[in-house]
Amino acid sequence: AGVLRWTWRLTYMSAIGLLGWTAYGIYLNRNPVEQPEPDPSKKTLVVLGTGWGSVSLLKKLDTENYNVVVISPRNYFLFTPLLPSCTTGTIEHRSIMEPIRNFLRHKGAAVKFYEAEATKIDYEKKVIYINDDSEIKGAVSQTEVPFDMLVVGVGAENATFGIPGVKEHGCFLKEVNDAQRIRKRIMDCCETATFKDQSPEEVKRLLHMVVVGGGPTGVEFAGELQDFFENDLKKWIPEIASNFRVTLVEALPSVLPMFSKNLIDYTEQTFKEETIEIRNKTMVKNVTEQYIEAEYTNAAGEKVLERIPYGLLVWATGNAVRPVVRDLMGQIPAQKDSRRGLAVNEYLVVKGTENVWAVGDCAVANYAPTAQVAAQEGAFLARLFNQMAKTEEFETELATLSEKQGTAPNKDSRDEVFAQIKDVQKRLRRVKQMGPFEYSHQGSLAYIGSEKAVADISWLTGNLATGGQLTYFFWRSAYLSMCFSTRNRVLVFMDWMKSYIFGRDVSRE
Ligand code: FAD
Ligand code: NAI
């Protein structure tokens, strides 16, 4: 009984301790302390973008060492892995956004943030031209920012491969407003399909949800959409039940090509059970307002162009290089053979430059364009920049000590300074020993609908490929733990509970 009582007391005290610690964390977060102003006498480090790569860099960067300027058209960080869940209202978009201002206010020294798009980087002049593209414009909405060091972390734009009609009629899934647009469109299609006197063909078209691209974005969205239909739409709008269809169109022979073969099979089998149609080896060639034209090879080996009518078209065919990056590549001869983005060396320095680094989807370093890679690259650069600042500090100290040694009045003080020099030299050597960037792959995870997920996880000695409901709980806990802040974690958890208890909201706005 005594042991039990003590166990109970210890648990009770730990719970109170944990609560107190969380409350204190929230208090500190809500009450930032005074920050020293940016020091313009220090080197100006400009960071472009507030995505995975740039924010991961800013998280670990000692901002007291540089005059840091951040430029991005988005004044928040977006946790993209949960974006597909926002298209159906399983999660509200603000739950996966973290304002960059809140985050920067907690850095050691203040950081300047400009909400703007970098329209051009002039490498020779070391200047970035920026443009305020937001709705409200001040008297000045275009200007330039000089830099000594530059980190390009602008991500990528949506690939369309020049296919006509995609930009005009398709919905992408990269940003918050894309998810909002899709959510609105799903409901619009459902309500329009139930409009009085709608013809049966038109009802079929409106309720045909087509997803192009069988990568993880397309697969996760298709799974979320089918869940929405099964759990909510069918219940509240029963008249759409027999016509609502989700089709996934993929040019390659299978979806999720980056996953293990058994997980690809598992995903395709699960989609079949969920009644999501997969059209592999089908390449979309043209998009109009009401149908797509897709090419496939029939049983006789002939190429057939099929018209597929749709109500909603989600286009998820991967990444393309942003114009500002392409322009920079054009200024640097060493980049002339690079096609998919800025070629970087093993220290993430943009090849052909000395003071420009690139992270994430806009950098080409032989890794897949994922959040995981971008985050690790950002963290690596923060360590590199912190070390570089320390190196400079030690070198200045060494110069001062050498001078001091030369003017020392006697042997004893000379020996003392000599010992100090040895110590600084040792520290300098340690700091200079930083190895190149090495990516450590933790695995790939994707949600495939009906509370199932697939995971290819790097395990102690090899790879673990698993799919199903247990993996789904792992997927949820992994992404919950990876959310940017405690606030995000709490909000996402509450959203999950909310949709579980009340169902998803089917209002159109
Ligand atoms: P981003 O995160 O895209 O950030 C780019 C930043 O640059 C943004 O802040 C943008 O506003 C800003 N920017 C754009 N243009 C300019 C400009 N001209 N000037 C200044 N700033 C600019 N990866 C995973 O590893 N796991 C997942 O589960 C996963 N899920 C995903 C789900 C979806 C729906 C999507 C779309 C992607 C997913 N990814 C996932 C991929 C991952 O999101 C990207 O690889 C990652 O965001 C790349 O980080 P980044 O910093 O390079 O770019
Ligand atoms: P992707 O590049 O992975 O897949 C795009 C797919 O579209 C390809 O399979 C391609 O064959 C297909 N395609 C291209 N053109 C086509 C056409 N005209 N017709 C039919 N199909 C066509 O793109 P995605 O899914 O947007 O992912 C981008 C990056 O983000 C990837 O690196 C991915 O790994 C990462 N990501 C990771 C996630 C995860 O780990 N859960 C989730 C979402 C994205």
In this prediction the ipTM stands at 0.98
* 3-state SS assignment for residue 142: strand
The atom number, within ligand 1, closest to the CA of 78 reads 2
The atom number, within ligand 2, closest to the CA of 283 reads 19
> How many whole angstroms from 361 Cα to the centroid of ligand 1?
7
- Options 3.40.50.1820, 3.50.50.100, 3.40.50.300, 3.30.465.10; which CATH number does 166-319+440-502 get? 3.50.50.100
> How many whole angstroms from 54 Cα to the centroid of ligand 1?
10
Distances (CA, A) of 103 to 169, 177, 487: 36, 22, 12
128-174 confidence digits (pLDDT tens): 999 999 999 999 999 999 999 999 999 999 999 999 999 999 999 99
> How many whole angstroms from 279 Cα to the centroid of ligand 2?
15
pLDDT at 120: 98
pLDDT at 156: 98
Q: Which two tokens stand for residue 449?
A: 């609908």
pLDDT at 430: 80
C-alpha–C-alpha distance, residues 172 and 283, integer Å: 17
User: Are 125 and 106 spatial neighbours (Cβ–Cβ below 8 Å)?
Assistant: no
244-266 confidence digits (pLDDT tens): 999 999 999 999 999 999 999 99
* Helix extents (H) in 207-260: 216-228, 234-236
Burial of 397 (0-12, 13-18, 19+ CB in 10 A): middle
pLDDT at 459: 74
Would you state the torsion angle of the CA atoms of residues 417, 419, 421, 423, taken in this order, to the nearest 10 degrees? -140
Answer yes or no: is pLDDT of 377 > 90: yes
pLDDT at 412: 87
Ligand that lies nearest to the alpha carbon of residue 341, given by its number in the listed order: 1
> How many whole angstroms from 218 Cα to the centroid of ligand 2?
7
Express as a percent the part of the chain with pLDDT over 90.
Answer: 87
Q: What is the mean pLDDT of the chain?
A: 95
Answer yes or no: is pLDDT of 28 > 80: yes
pLDDT at 455: 95
Answer yes or no: is pLDDT of 284 > 80: yes
Query: Does residue 374's CB lie within 6 angstroms of at least one atom of ligand 1?
Result: yes
Answer yes or no: is pLDDT of 415 > 80: yes
> What is the mean predicted confidence (pLDDT) over 113-120?
98
For the chain, the structural domain boundaries read 1-31, 35-156+321-378, 166-319+440-502
Answer yes or no: is pLDDT of 195 > 90: yes
pLDDT at 129: 98
* 3-state SS assignment for residue 286: strand
pLDDT at 427: 85
Query: Does residue 316's CB lie within 6 angstroms of at least one atom of ligand 2?
Result: yes
> How many whole angstroms from 306 Cα to the centroid of ligand 2?
22
- Residue 76 Rama label (left phi>0; alpha psi -120 to 50; beta): beta
Beta pairing partners, 115: 72
Query: Does residue 158's CB lie within 6 angstroms of at least one atom of ligand 1?
Result: no
> How many whole angstroms from 217 Cα to the centroid of ligand 2?
6
pLDDT at 149: 98
Q: Domain 35-156+321-378 adopts which CATH fold?
A: FAD/NAD(P)-binding domain (3.50.50)
Confidence of residue 22 (pLDDT cuts 50, 70, 90): confident
The atom number, within ligand 2, closest to the CA of 255 reads 9
Q: 32-46, 335-349, 400-414 — which is least confidently predicted?
A: 400-414
DSSP code for 99: E
Query: Does residue 72's CB lie within 6 angstroms of at least one atom of ligand 1?
Result: yes
User: Are 398 and 424 spatial neighbours (Cβ–Cβ below 8 Å)?
Assistant: yes
> What is the mean predicted confidence (pLDDT) over 219-223?
98
Helix axes 486-502, 469-482, angle to 10 degrees: 140
* 3-state SS assignment for residue 305: strand
Query: Does residue 54's CB lie within 6 angstroms of at least one atom of ligand 1?
Result: yes
> How many whole angstroms from 307 Cα to the centroid of ligand 1?
33
User: Are 446 and 248 spatial neighbours (Cβ–Cβ below 8 Å)?
Assistant: no
Answer yes or no: is pLDDT of 433 > 90: no
298-331 confidence digits (pLDDT tens): 999 999 999 999 999 999 999 999 999 999 999 9
Answer yes or no: is pLDDT of 190 > 90: yes
C-alpha–C-alpha distance, residues 261 and 265, integer Å: 6
Query: Does residue 444's CB lie within 6 angstroms of at least one atom of ligand 2?
Result: yes
User: Are 338 and 326 spatial neighbours (Cβ–Cβ below 8 Å)?
Assistant: no
Which residue has tokens 């210890």? 10
> How many whole angstroms from 317 Cα to the centroid of ligand 2?
5
Ligand that lies nearest to the alpha carbon of residue 218, given by its number in the listed order: 2
Pairing of strands 67-72, 44-48: parallel
pLDDT at 37: 92
Would you state the torsion angle of the CA atoms of residues 232, 233, 236, 238, taken in this order, to the nearest 10 degrees? -130
C-alpha–C-alpha distance, residues 79 and 488, integer Å: 9
450-509 confidence digits (pLDDT tens): 999 999 987 776 788 899 999 999 999 999 999 999 999 999 999 999 999 999 999 998
* 3-state SS assignment for residue 97: strand
Q: Which two tokens stand for residue 389?
A: 């600042």
Core vs surface per residue 99-115: b (16+ CB within 10 A) or e: ebeebbeebebbbbbbb
Query: Does residue 53's CB lie within 6 angstroms of at least one atom of ligand 2?
Result: no
Answer yes or no: is pLDDT of 437 > 80: yes
* 3-state SS assignment for residue 278: strand
User: Are 99 and 76 spatial neighbours (Cβ–Cβ below 8 Å)?
Assistant: yes
> What is the mean predicted confidence (pLDDT) over 359-378?
96
* 3-state SS assignment for residue 368: coil
* Whether the domain at 35-156+321-378 and the domain at 166-319+440-502 fall into the same CATH topology: yes
DSSP E strand stretches across 178-324: 208-212, 245-249, 276-279, 283-287, 291-297, 303-309, 312-315, 319-320
* 3-state SS assignment for residue 319: strand
Ligand that lies nearest to the alpha carbon of residue 57, given by its number in the listed order: 1
